[in-house]
Structure formats: C-alpha cells, structure tokens
Structure 1
Amino acid sequence: MKPSRLLRLGLGALSALTLSACQSLAFGVANHGLARPDASAVYDPAHQLSLDVYRPAAAVRNAPVLVYFYGGSWQHGARAHYRFVGRRLASTGAVVMVADYRLAPETIFPGFVEDGARAVAWARAHAADYGADPARVFIGGHSAGAQIAALLGTDAHYLADQGVPRSAIAGVIGLAGPYDFRISGELTEVFGPPERWPQAQPIGFVDGDEPPFLLVSGRRDTEVEPRQTRDLADRLRAAGGRVEVLWLPGGHLAPLIDLYAHHRHPALLARIRDFLRGP
C-alpha cells in the first residue's frame, strides 16, 4: 500500500477513535509497520500492571524519561494500542514508557492515579537500565491520561507515597486534558462519592511548587473544553510556575493525530522535543 494511502487511512481511523467499534481498526492502521516495543516490564506485580519501553533510534547521552498515560475516559485503553505514540515520542530523544493502569470498574478514583505514581517510581528507579537519566523524569498523557499526569504533578502526595519527591519530576506534558471538569453520568461510577470529586481536579492543587508544564489542546475540542487548558495555565502562572501552551487546529484527538502525522503540524513534536530538553 502506498504511504500516502496508508496516511489517509490512518488519519481517518484515528478520527474515528471515539467510536468503540472502530478502535481496533484505528489502532491497527496507526501502528502498521512500526517495530514492537524495545522492552516490556511489570512495574506493579500486585496488580499485574506493565509498561512498554521505547528507546531512541540513536543513543542519546543522559536521555530524559517520559512516562506516558493513554486516554479512554479512565475506562478503556491498553498500552499495546499506543505503539505509534511511543515510537513518535521516542524520536525526540527520550526513553518513553507507555504504562497501563487499572481502569474502571476494576478500580475507581484514586486507584488509577496511584497506579500512575507507581509507574513513575519504577521508571525513576530503572531509568539507567535503559540508558536514561533518572534525574530527568517527565510525565505525560492524553485526555484521561493527562488528568493522571497533571494530578501527579500538582498533588504531591501520590508520588511521595512511592518515595518520589515532586522535585524529582522534570516536567508534565498534558495533551487535551481535563483539569477542572464536571463529573456526571457514567463518570460518577468512576470517581466515587461526590465528596471525593474535588480531589480529582488538578487545578485545585496548584500551589506554586509544580514542575514545568507543557499544555496542548485542540481549539475545537468538544469533549474536553479548551478553557480547561487555559484555566490551568493561568493558575500555574499566577502561582509563579513555568507553563507553556500550544493550541492546535482540530478537536480532542488533534494531539494524537498530529503525533501520527507529525508533518501536518510539526510544531507539536518540536515543542515536545524542546520541552524535554529543558530550558
């Protein structure tokens, strides 16, 4: 199949990701021809949770580590679907670890955030095994995964419970993330009793001691309002934090589509690369 034809198929499939019946096809097309992960490891034996490791094609001295959490409304997803994300992000020179976490109804909030903290602790402890620098650990994710990443970056107790000080995190990358969101409908099953809901909002924990943030959103996102990206950025700046914002044309899946077809809007991958390199 011609590359241009495959690209068109991939873009169309990724655009249909919100339709569950199309997901297997979409991910199959997006991952077509890509090498399998360079390694896989169980980071939480108690819950049989694993992560996949993607290394840069060329050795990078003191490479950063990026722990990535996928989206899926905290109810769907699997690390195997995100080979195209792992490979693309590894092209920035980072060692990328795409981590599974428990999904509802197997667990409810804050179980999946606690899983995320364990993945980050494992990545920090094992970074050197993959040629990466344990002092340069970044956290990122898309949609629900961005909420997990942002909460780990703002509410210090999750990482502290795993022996990781928040100061050990070099930065957080949030792609189309919910940071101050309304919990209703099926999400009430995911986030438990109402008195717990404020604890799920990353914006509520900004206190000025956060790592740098890179926030990315599609201007036409109708699933997670772009104002959530803007509001979190404003709160971080008001607290004296360092934050960068990148707006993409497109909707909720724009960051994933632009990672798959990075030549469409090369600013995304370039901004991520620069952010991982540090100031």
Structure 2
Amino acid sequence: MDAVAQMQETGITAVFFPTLSAFIPLHEPNRDNITRGRRSFQYGATDRHQLDVYYPPNTGKKHPMLFYVYGGFVHGQRTRPAPADLIYGNLGTYFAAHGFVTLIPDYRLAPGTTYPGPAHDLRDALAWAVSNPHLLGPNADTASIFLLGHSSGGVHILTFLFEPAVLAGRPELRAHVKGAIIASALFHFNSEGMDTRLRDHVNAYYASPEAAAVQSPLALLRGASDAVITALPALALITCARDPEWLKFDLSDSYEALGRRIAESRKVGPKKIVAEGHNHISLPLALGTGQGEGWAEDVLAWMEGL
C-alpha cells in the first residue's frame, strides 16, 4: 500500500497501470495456492460464459457463496495474461480461506453486447450455481449468496437488482441473494470529472449518451417500483479513500439517494464502508498481501452478521 500512498494522481486511468504493477509481484509467493485452488466451468454458450470457482477448506459446516463481478464495460477478464495472471485469483483465494465458495464469472463486453447483457450473464451464472451445487463443494449454501461488484462490476449488479426485465424469467433467483456489496460503482454518468476514455466506454456499453442517462443505476433506482425496492437484499456500499474527488462526491449523493429510497420501504439502510488508503484500482488487488485488507474484513463481518 506504500506505492498507492505515494501516487500523486487519483484519476482512474492514471493510476491503473502503476497500481497493477505495484501489486503483481506481491502475489507471486502465493502462486501455487491460488492456481491449485481454482476450477473453471462453462455456464453459458460462449467463451465469455465461463467462471472460476475457489473452494474453502471443508469444515463440515455450510459455506456461503460469493460472486465477484470485476469492473469492465469494454475490457476485463477473470484471469489476466501473465504476469498479471494471479489478479482476481488472489481475491478468490482470500474469501475462500474465510469460508466462502467464491465464484468469478466472465461476462460479455461491449461492443459484443450492450446494456443489460452483463446483468443477464450474472443472472445466468447465478442460475448455473443454484442448479449445480454438487460442483461447488459438499457444503455450498445456495440459499446464502452474496454479490460483490467493483467499479462497473457494481453497475452490472445494480442493473441486476433494479432492472425487473433481467429476472423476469427467473424471479426465484432473488431469494438466493442474501446481500450485495457495491464498491465505487458509478450510479450515473453526468459528472464533468469523468475522463474521455471512461465516457467512451460508458457510451459504447449503453450505445448512446441518451440511453446511458435513462438506464443508469440512479435512473433505474428512481423509476423502480416499491416491489423492486422491497425485494432488494441487504446492501453494503464501499468508497475508496483515494477515489477521484468527483467520484467520491457522486458516490456520496448516490448512496444517500439509495438510502432514502430503502428507508421508504422500512428496510435496514445500506452499510457504508470506507476503504482507507485505497485508490480506485487497488481495492481487489490488495487481498492476500496482508496489506489494505481492512475493507474486506469489514465486508466479512457484515456478511457473517446477516
């Protein structure tokens, strides 16, 4: 985390490669543990419909499940090319070591799909897991599933939760989702602070700025029925302390809007967590290094307390 602290920049594009480069060597000593504990499965028709599963030690007790949805509108994969091939596997191994069957699915990207394609893929990965518990270990608890989405991965989870059409054919899947953790995910795309590259990715995914405006998580939240809000699982919301200032400002407003809407249904409001010391990229990369894991400890305590 020292390398993150020394970075003057906080912009998402500016810190991406420096942050990745800082964490890659920290996972190398754990290579055997990460790769040995991973199995891959096909959950759909294309090569983007694959997922990795990380298994906890068999304690004889039921193991809740965690889906991690990484960030990506036009780029992203569950296993990156070497030398970054342990990234995300470190997260899977971390949560598995703490008792969670951890699944990391790939999903379709723009321009191969547009909104809400990744949310459909998340639905299909969830349906696969619920239908195949025998592949997830002897004590996988499909009645206790958590979703963790970082950056645009959080956008895909919010779409899954707020867009009724996504679960129209599989409404029973909602009952399996016990909680969702949204980490530094944009609720809308109106900020002047967004860099050109990110705005281009948003427009590629939503197909147009006009579509992005009416299909953003915040727009979906505002238009959601009371039934959708009542059916939401427990929520935790993460902000990185070194997120860009424009993003922290937007997240604060969006989190408050979500909290107010949930309060109308008399449900318990979202848990708010600040990932101290983290920039927008470092959050998942730190797990398994012994550094910067406080946010995950808070998430574990929250999940175990539900």
Q: Which TM-score band applies after superposition, normalised by the shorter structure?
A: 0.7 to 0.9
Unaligned runs of 5+ in 2: 80-86, 191-197
The equivalent of 2:243 in structure 1 is: 221
Q: CA shift at 1:42, angstroms?
A: 0.4
Q: Secondary structure at the match of 1:45?
A: coil
Paired residue type of 1:253:
I
* 2: CA distance, partners of 1:17 / 1:198: 21
Q: Secondary structure at the match of 1:189?
A: helix
**Which of 188, 192, 201 is equivalent to 2:216?**
201
* 1: CA distance, partners of 2:47 / 2:213: 26
- Measured against aligned partners, the alpha-carbon deviations of 1:26-73 in whole angstroms (never above 9, x if no partner) come to 67435422321431100112455100001123436221111111113x
The equivalent of 2:70 in structure 1 is: 70
* 1: CA distance, partners of 2:237 / 2:17: 30
State yes or no: 1:127 paired with 2:160: no
The equivalent of 1:29 in structure 2 is: 25
Q: Which has the higher contact order (CA 8 A, sep 6+)?
A: 2
Aligned residues: 270
* 1: CA distance, partners of 2:256 / 2:181: 16
The equivalent of 2:102 in structure 1 is: 96
- Measured against aligned partners, the alpha-carbon deviations of 1:101-133 in whole angstroms (never above 9, x if no partner) come to 111222222222211221122122223532311
2:65/2:144 contact within 8 Å kept: yes
Written as runs of structure 1 = structure 2, the 5 A alignment for 1:256-271 is 256-266=284-294, 268-271=295-298
State yes or no: 1:252 paired with 2:280: yes
**Structure 1 pair 186/45, CA: closer, same or farther in 2 (3 Å)?**
closer
The equivalent of 1:275 in structure 2 is: 302
How large is the Cα RMSD of the aligned pairs? 3.2
* 2: CA distance, partners of 1:55 / 1:120: 16
TM-score computed with the length of structure 2 as normaliser: 0.75
The equivalent of 1:116 in structure 2 is: 122
Q: CA shift at 1:215, angstroms?
A: 0.9
In percent, how many aligned pairs have the same letter? 24
Of 238-247 and 27-36, the range deviating more from structure 2: 27-36
Q: CA shift at 1:225, angstroms?
A: 0.6
* 1: CA distance, partners of 2:59 / 2:105: 22
**Structure 1 pair 194/42, CA: closer, same or farther in 2 (3 Å)?**
same
**Which of 168, 171, 182 is equivalent to 1:174?**
182
The equivalent of 2:233 in structure 1 is: 211
- Measured against aligned partners, the alpha-carbon deviations of 1:68-120 in whole angstroms (never above 9, x if no partner) come to 11113x11111114111111122331111001011122222222221122112
